[in-house]
Chains A and B, each alone.
Chain A
Amino acid sequence: MKNILLIAGKDLRLAFRDRAAIILMLAAPFLLTLGMALVTGRLTSPGGASSGPSNIPVLIINRDGESLGNALVETFQSAELDELLEAQVVEDEQAARRAVDEDQVAGLVIIPAGFTRSIIPPQGAVIDTTAEPVKLQFYANPARPTSTAIIETILTEYLSRVEEGRVIGMASVFQMLTSGVFTPAEAQAYGDEMRRQFSESADETALQDDEFGTLTLKVIGAPEQESVQFDVMAFMAPGMALLFLMFTVTYGGRSFLAERRQRTLQRMLTSPTALPQVLGGKMLGTYLTGVLQLIILIGSSSLLFNLRWGNFWGVLALILLAAFAATGWGLLITAFARTPGQVSTYGSAVMLTFGILGGSFVDLSALPEPVRLISRITPNAWGLDGFTILGLGGGLAQLTRPLLGLFVLGSVLFILAVWRFSRRRDLIQ
């Protein structure tokens, strides 16, 4: 293990001493993001025109028809979400499901009857504290993972705020009862008043603009809490970072074959170091370089553009797994290439193809379904899904799918690359 760390540390040092590599790893994505921000007007007017996901078609069936159900419909159809969503209220569930199956829309949200009453009981009703609230249903289109992730995030955020309000209300009443602030007889009157206020606030507009004019989702019950913002830059910057992450892993692969050419690989293999240790060290070095690149890009864009990448642990998990999957690709390319030049050539082609396929330049949901399916072989697509979810306020819990996708992709690529390396006799001869 010591030798693996030594080789990885040496590679990390070499990567950050190479001026050309630094330009491509750090400066290029930064400048491209900056350029795109200027083009989209993000720098002049925050929340400017988006090149990210837009007009996501979603159907809603509102069987609740009461305050919370109506508020959710209003949220989806609000002016603030107008660019992002194209929400339509329908009645026919079968037709709506068919529209999802046929890839006409990204998903179907069903608000069941009794949704509001399960959270805000009617006046005089007995509150059953153990009863589960009626659940919202979301019928997602698997062919549009980014779009469905966005809808899911909005729903989750809405529900968490509603649930928060409900629990706080109930806890307050019970706390006051047990501490003798009021009697059980008075509790009924207080409860009715709280229900009335809660219900009224739900009827009010659920969405408000924040001071910058970026997309803001504010949910009833917690007006003072931090709101959810979707910033265009939060879509562009990850796209660029993931695009150039592919360059970094290609650079790492090239360095492996360069070591063979400059005979340092052979020298290592005559020291007490085995080939798997050298491979492990090179992989780890490439991986760490990728991780460091993403951390620097994300950190600097947060500082310079005041860009909000979202939940810290979610961002960290995405960085670690996106770099893992990208390293898998870098390794596989290296395993099939004969010379460092070939790695560069194949790597550049793969990097650009993945950039297009993976959504770094265009919104994936605008592409045909076969292309969207193929895009799943790219770390870019999974990574962008994740960063979009985070940009919309999602947390680790909502990242399961992209994280799993990246992990499976990386693992498969690593296995393939190691298998290929084990069959190569030319590496040391």
Chain B
Amino acid sequence: MSVILQVNNLVKRYGELTAVKGISFEVQEGEIFSLLGPNGAGKTTTISVLSTLFPPSEGDALIAGHSVVRQPYAVRQVIGIVPQEIALYEDLTARENLNFWGQLYGLSGRELKARVEEVLEQTGLQEKANQRVKTYSGGMKRRLNIGVGLLHRPRLLFMDEPTVGIDPQSRRAILETVKDLNRQAGMTILYTTHYMEEAQELSHRVGIIDHGEMIALGTQAELVRLVGQKETLVLHFGEDQSTAAILPKIQQIFGIQQVIAEDHTLQVLAGDAEEVLPAVIQICAAENLKIRTIQIQEPNLEAVFLQLTGRALRD
């Protein structure tokens, strides 16, 4: 496989704020690469720079051999983008939207017509193709938003949190579309998300990004190895319960690596969660804390993020 995207020390500053702090990574042609990180980590800024919306403050990236700094128009011919927000004209129909965006990408005549029909079929919008977008449900709009990004068959597709704010059924449909695009069309996809499950399900490789820095990068197995074979014990308490008092006591239990208390939830990283569980319950009972649920998670990307940042991914 050849490298389609090579990012070198990319920096983006907005005045005093540095949103992206010198990240570097590569994406191979034909893979799904996920940028996983919480909100405000710098994922959208990275995608915006890579899609040539604005130039980086420092560094560069090569897409299919073209520099995003020096050859933005060549880069735009190669890439497609599915923005986080639904970027469509609500007073145009789905077909009119696709025609407009397709023509902007240089499609015309029979090719344009054929691609519009293909995308309508792919997104399941054929029957409502002549209805104005403002009459669509949120899920339908999301599908059309993705469809616009696919029209010109880009070699590299950027998908910026495409499942934010939609129902589980539409989310499932979008994830299947992403997998199909990669498997059947061989499309390379750079996918950003703050949902660990999506990154785990879709990605060949994952880059974990936090505060504008790439803190870990590799396949899921490689990343999990970073935290060893640690499990995560997750305890949920009632809303009127405070976990602050028990933290020091739990940290002293033998075999516990790390403890994080957030929003009435306690996350305990341990080599063997089942082994430390009785001691944890005992301390909670002594402090009159009522446990609502207990969950033991196998090593996953959430645990990796927790281990590396000391915070939960959803923050």
Contact = CB atoms under 8 A, between A and B. Distances in A.
A338 to B, nearest CB: 16
Contact of B89 (A264, A269, A271, A428): A264
Given A6-B103, A6-B104, A271-B76, A264 B87 contact: yes
Interface string A5-43: 010001001100110000000000000000000000000
A2 B107 CA distance: 12
A3 interface: yes
B87 A266 contact: yes
Q: Which of A2, A10, A18, A273 has the most B CB atoms < 10 Å from its CB?
A: A10
Contacts of B101: 267, 271
Interface in B80-133: 81, 83, 85-92, 96, 100-101, 103-106
B91 A14 contact: yes
B105 A272 contact: yes
B67 to A, nearest CB: 16
B284 to A, nearest CB: 47
Contact of A263 (B14, B51, B85): B85
A273 B83 CA distance: 17
Nearest to B105: A271
A270 B152 CA distance: 13
B52 A270 contact: yes
Q: Which of B85, B104, B106 has the most A CB atoms < 10 Å from its CB?
A: B104
Interface string A258-295: 00001110111111111000000000000000000000
A23 to B, nearest CB: 15
A10 B92 contact: yes
Contacts of A18: 91
A270 B91 contact: no
Given A6-B103, A10-B100, A270 B89 contact: no
A270 B104 contact: no
B202 to A, nearest CB: 22
Contacts of A262: 85-88, 90
A130 interface: no
Interface residues of B, number: 28
B23 to A, nearest CB: 18
Nearest to B106: A272
B81 A267 contact: yes
Q: Which of A3, A270, A273 has the most B CB atoms < 10 Å from its CB?
A: A270
Contacts of A266: 48, 53, 83, 87
B53 A10 contact: no
A316 B166 CA distance: 51
Nearest to B77: A272
A343 B53 CA distance: 24
A264 B104 CA distance: 12
A179 interface: no
Contacts of A269: 52-53
Contact of A264 (B48, B76, B79, B88): B88
B73 interface: yes
A3 B107 CA distance: 12
Contact of B83 (A14, A267, A272, A429): A267
A398 B104 CA distance: 44
Given A3-B104, A14-B92, A267 B87 contact: yes
B25 interface: no
Contacts of B85: 262-263
Nearest to A266: B53
Nearest to A262: B87
Interface in B37-74: 48, 51-54, 73
Contact of A14 (B53, B77, B89, B105): B89
Contacts of A6: 100, 103-104
Given A10-B92, A264-B87, A264-B89, A270 B76 contact: yes
Q: Which of B77, B87, B91 has the most A CB atoms < 10 Å from its CB?
A: B87
Contact of B14 (A272, A428, A429): A429
Given A428-B53, A429-B54, A268 B88 contact: no
Contacts of A264: 87-89
A269 B55 CA distance: 12
Contacts of A3: 104
Nearest to B50: A270
Contacts of B54: 428-429
A266 B54 CA distance: 10
B51 A270 contact: yes
Nearest to B84: A263
Given A262-B85, A271-B104, 14 more contacts: A3-B104, A14-B91, A262-B86, A262-B87, A262-B90, A263-B83, A263-B87, A264-B89, A266-B48, A267-B101, A270-B51, A271-B105, A272-B77, A273-B104
16 contacts: A6-B100, A14-B91, A14-B92, A262-B85, A262-B86, A262-B90, A263-B86, A264-B88, A267-B81, A267-B83, A269-B52, A271-B76, A271-B101, A272-B104, A273-B104, A429-B54
Considering the complex of A and B, which 4 residue pairs feature the smallest CB-CB distances, nearest first? A263-B87, A267-B87, A270-B51, A263-B85
